[in-house]
Structure 1
Amino acid sequence: MRKLRTLLALVAIGSSMGMASYAAAAPQSKETIAARSATPLTTDELFQLYSNRSWLWKDGAGYFLSKQRRFIAATGRGSAGSYGVGRWFLTDPGKLCFKADWHAKSGSAPALTCFSHRKKGGVVFQKREPDGEWYAFKNAPIKAGDEYRKLRPGDYVSASLKKIQSRLSASR
């Protein structure tokens, strides 16, 4: 039995080492390759990119207020809706983060979300930290499919947030 456990442990170690070398040898996207040699955005560039803009998502949005770096977000509708309230902040090199307390019918919980940004030749690359993949966030000139097109000046969140807050308060 002891020999069997030792053998299984060695197989597991060998397998994990093989997977690590496979992952290192896996082909990388052209965005990942380009982003590695790109320059991180400065805090000024990030501030200009996000300040007083709403990032529209599939089922909601997040708003980055410049005043006190407040962050608000709302997703979903009706009893399935949730909202987040917190702060956004910038760190060098090239990272945007927002930390919010998220509220839903089931309760509330804090969450921290970060995105790294780099630029090369007029293209801004972005990836969600820690495990996201690099992709072209903003091209020059801007393309129809750029995620950057979902960043809109103004507050697209407050009205939805108030409705969800109201529904959640009534259900408690």
Structure 2
Amino acid sequence: MTKFRALLMMCAISGFVGAGAINADAAQPKTSGAAQSAAPLTTDELVKLYHGRSWLWKDGAGYFSAKQRRFTAWSRESGSPSYADGRWFVTDPGKLCFKAKWHAREGAASALTCFSHRKKGRVVFQKREPDGEWYVFKTTPARTRDEYGKIRPGNYVSARLKRIEARLSSGK
């Protein structure tokens, strides 16, 4: 069960630490120092960034529903389909989290994933908790390499999630 749980956890977080975040760190070695001296985003600022939006990943997407702060996602990491259903929430100072149950062919497991956000001037920094590295998440004006460019208004998850859910429940 331990290997299975680890696999599901990797599915749950795979899209969130994508190449964009890693490249942003490599391109901006002083990001960590700037982020440390930046102010955490407020709860209202975080809600405005995410509610009613989808975060598109390399092999999946997550949707932050405005209704009851439901979080849904799908992934095809390493070609294995999985989907998640849970809730997202924000905490002070500047943290976005989502707790969801991830379902795959092998079974299901719960995962909690959190990201911290800080702002300095026109730059919002982000890092995955607890061990991630700070990177530039959003700039004003926006840059094409900003991770926030992968967050789009609307639900890009439900249709694919339903297909994956049906496939997994039928055993195909």
| TM-score > 0.5 by shorter chain | yes
Distance (Å, rounded) in 2 between the aligned partners of 1:101 and 1:40? 28
1:85 aligns with 2:85: yes
1:123 aligns with 2:123: yes
The alignment partner of 2:159 has SS state of helix
Query: Following TM superposition, by how much is the alpha carbon of 1:140 offset from its aligned partner in structure 2, in angstroms?
Result: 1.4
1:164 aligns with 2:164: yes
Distance (Å, rounded) in 2 between the aligned partners of 1:169 and 1:52? 28
Between Structure 1 and Structure 2, whose CA radius of gyration is higher?
1
The alignment partner of 1:155 has SS state of coil
Match of residue 4 from structure 2: none
Distance (Å, rounded) in 2 between the aligned partners of 1:99 and 1:119? 24
What CA deviation, in whole Å up to 9, does each residue of 1:11-65 have, x standing for no partner?
xxxxxxxxxxxxxxxxx93110000000000000000000000000001100000
What's the RMSD between the two structures over aligned residues?
Answer: 1.7
How do 1:52-131 residues align onto structure 2 when only pairs under 5 Å count?
Answer: 52-76=52-76, 80-131=80-131
Number of equivalenced pairs: 145
How do 1:33-52 residues align onto structure 2 when only pairs under 5 Å count?
Answer: 33-52=33-52
Query: Following TM superposition, by how much is the alpha carbon of 1:156 offset from its aligned partner in structure 2, in angstroms?
Result: 0.2
> What is the letter of the counterpart of residue 94 of structure 1?
G
Which 5+ residue runs of structure 2 have no aligned equivalent? 1-27
Which 5+ residue runs of structure 1 have no aligned equivalent? 1-27
What CA deviation, in whole Å up to 9, does each residue of 1:127-153 have, x standing for no partner?
000000000000111101100000000
> What is the letter of the counterpart of residue 44 of structure 1?
D
Percent of pairs with identical residues: 68
The alignment partner of 2:133 has SS state of coil
Distance (Å, rounded) in 1 between the aligned partners of 2:60 and 2:147? 15
Distance (Å, rounded) in 2 between the aligned partners of 1:119 and 1:80? 36
User: TM-score, length-normalised on structure 1?
Assistant: 0.81
Match of residue 144 from structure 1: 144
Distance (Å, rounded) in 1 between the aligned partners of 2:89 and 2:140? 26
> Greater RCO between the two (CA within 8 Å, min separation 6)?
2
> What is the letter of the counterpart of residue 113 of structure 2?
T
